[in-house]
A and B are shown apart, each in its own frame.
Chain A
Amino acid sequence: MTAYETARAGGVVDTAVGFPKSREDMFEFYEFIRKGSHDAATTAGELEFPAGYMFKNVPKWESDEMGDPVEMLFLEHQRHGITQAIVGVEDEVGRRAVRDLPDHFFASIGIDPNEGMDAVRKIDRYANEFDLKAVGAFPSGLYPQVALNDKMFYPIYAKCIEVGVAFCSTAGVPGPRLQFAPQEVALIDEVCWFFPELVFVTRHGCEPWTALAAKLLLKWPNLYYSTTAFAPKYYPADIINFANTRGADKVIFSGYFPAGLTYERIFNELPGVPFRDHVWQKFLRENAQRVFKLPAEDLS
């Protein structure tokens, strides 16, 4: 077996997964992006998925193809050897998944700092009800947008530290035609300086500032990178190089199912990523288990 195959046999953690939705429901879900966009292709809904121009073969289900979303996702995970997954628990589907399959699904929520103290209390509330593993944000997708180093985020960061939960944010130029400024990679430096204890995991690639991302990943012990929304053949060379040299503990696998990528595609391309042997099991499983405090078992 190759190092990749051995690592995969021990289990794979996907740190950001959504449940399948019908095309109509998915379209409705992206209303928050259309609200903040000004270009006609996005606002008029011509782009069914606002970042659709970047992706090939985005997963789609017509309403009559939909079964139980929890079952659909779980089957998909079994088929591809995903053994643990972090999902949102703000709707009934996610709550049921975490309750019914507690060894497989783990809880996360999204956060909008525009809500002030209500957002702070939301973290406490979910942390009391669930074994909360991640608080996620999409700074460019908020309405109004909130920059990663904005003061509105500061009480959120403090609360994540208090509760001991990882904070995950998209970073880099977003696919949807929203301004990138709120999630420039450079902003992360200030956050890590003021909150060195904050466990901060980037999502969605950090492009085109991957050289800076590698610098910051090296500089800040609690900063991590996850590969959400990137097909493995497009993983940035700077990040692969960093994982292969000093950053094996800092780069974390994530897919983008069902938003933009099928698991077929991900696992077809994954073996072609030029990670060195020692990186694979950290990348696929161990880093996520440590950073998100998931049960750490090697299933191989």
Chain B
Amino acid sequence: MSSEAFEKARADLGVIDTMIGFPAPREEQAKHYDFIRRQTHDADSQEWEFPAQYMFKGVPHYDKVDDPVEMLLAKMNQHGITRALTGMAVDGNAKIALERHPDRFIASTNTDPNQGMDAVRKLEQDVRVHGARAVNCWGTGLIPQVPLNDKKMYPIYAKCIELDIPIFVYAGVPGPRIRFAPQEVALLDEVCWFFPELKIVTRHGGEPWSELMVKLLLKWPNLHYSTSAFAPKHYNKDIIHFANTRGADKVIYAGYYPMGLDIDRIFAELPHVPFRDHVWPKFLYENAARLLKV
């Protein structure tokens, strides 16, 4: 267990960050969260710039951003992040980044299963025509919310299998003050049972059901866990233990820049995570590379 192993993995292979966004001016970033405010009932959520801000220290804020793509790239370079999974065409930034730096950015599309067959067709189009290599679905943030095991998800899951792409979903109690029920970890069991071929990557920690998460990660070969939205010093102990024992292939690095964590903070804390040596290259690069076919 050593930070040398971390350094060596980073130097030898690089790092894939499976959750990253482009920096935006404060006001714009705050406005992005309107979709969350629409379904909260508490007063704080209406006022807060970032609906999960009570959980985070040092959330990145910018008064002005000149070139979001180059700014992000400079941050990535500074910390040895060689590739990043980013949304596509949601704003101009992703499109520019994917065109300008195809060796650095990997496209992920987004889905809203409430849209039925239109969502299925969009997914197929984004993968086959526009080169997406993953799909993201935050069912809890949708209106109406769509639970992980909801029937509306099933055509999406089937399409992911047909297209052979992983789906990134959210598990555990969400930070924003919306209900957690749609993303309880327990719901994953049914999905993995019915779609054993489906490659799933959880985001945002799976807490407080991390013991169950570990059981499921062990039980279902195509279920994976990523560390998005967690500062490394708060990485869950159950997950670290699992990665160090039977789960080295199942745990994947993800940051949370610029939404809640600065990359500087992440990479200051990361070397101190007590992963065993053999885990680091898999965690930082290989597991994501396998799923995203890098």
Chain A contact residues, CB within 8 Å of chain B: 116-117, 120, 149-152, 154-155, 157-159, 161-162, 194-195, 197
Contact = CB atoms under 8 A, between A and B. Distances in A.
Contacts of A158: 117, 120, 155, 158-159
13 contacts: A120-B158, A150-B151, A151-B150, A151-B151, A154-B151, A154-B152, A154-B155, A155-B157, A157-B155, A158-B117, A158-B159, A194-B151, A195-B117
A155 B155 contact: yes
A116 B117 contact: no
Interface in B140-162: 149-155, 157-159, 161-162
Contact of B116 (A116, A159, A195): A195
Given A120-B158, A151-B154, A195-B116, 9 more contacts: A117-B195, A151-B194, A154-B154, A155-B154, A157-B155, A159-B158, A161-B117, A162-B120, A197-B117
B197 interface: yes
B139 to A, nearest CB: 14
A154 to B, nearest CB: 4
A163 B154 CA distance: 17
Pairs A-B, 3 closest by C-beta atoms: A151-B151, A155-B158, A158-B155
Interface of B is mostly: helix
A157 B149 CA distance: 17
Contacts of B151: 149-151, 154, 194
Given A158-B120, A194-B116, A197-B117, A117 B152 contact: no
Given A194-B116, A195-B116, A117 B155 contact: no
Interface in B117-174: 117, 120, 149-155, 157-159, 161-162
A195 to B, nearest CB: 7
Contacts of A159: 158
Contacts, number: 41
Interface of B: 116-117, 120, 149-155, 157-159, 161-162, 194-195, 197
A194 B114 CA distance: 9
Contacts of B155: 154-155, 157-158
A149 B154 CA distance: 12
Contacts of B150: 151
A117 B116 contact: no
Contacts of A195: 116-117
Nearest to A119: B158
A161 to B, nearest CB: 6
B199 to A, nearest CB: 13
A197 B155 CA distance: 14
Contacts of A151: 149-151, 153-154, 194
B120 A117 contact: no
Contacts of B152: 154, 194
B147 to A, nearest CB: 10
A188 to B, nearest CB: 14
Contact of B161 (A117, A154, A157, A197): A117
Contact of A117 (B117, B153, B158): B158
A155 B158 CA distance: 6
A116 B194 contact: yes
A157 to B, nearest CB: 7
Contacts of A161: 117
A22 to B, nearest CB: 38
A195 B117 CA distance: 7
Contacts of B154: 151-152, 154-155
B34 to A, nearest CB: 27
A289 B150 CA distance: 35
A152 B117 contact: no
A195 B149 CA distance: 18
B149 A117 contact: no
B196 to A, nearest CB: 8
Nearest to A149: B151
B113 to A, nearest CB: 10
Among A149, A152, A158, A159, residue most surrounded by chain B Cβ atoms (within 10 Å): A158
Contacts of A152: 154, 194
Contacts of B149: 151
Nearest to B114: A194
A158 B115 CA distance: 12
A149 B151 CA distance: 9
A154 B158 CA distance: 9
A118 to B, nearest CB: 10
A276 to B, nearest CB: 36
Nearest to A124: B162
B153 to A, nearest CB: 8
A117 B152 CA distance: 16
Nearest to B124: A162
Contact of B197 (A117, A154, A157, A197): A117
Nearest to B191: A151
B120 A116 contact: no
A86 B151 CA distance: 30
Contacts of B162: 120
A159 B161 CA distance: 13
B73 to A, nearest CB: 38
Contacts of B197: 117
Nearest to B190: A151
A120 B195 CA distance: 12
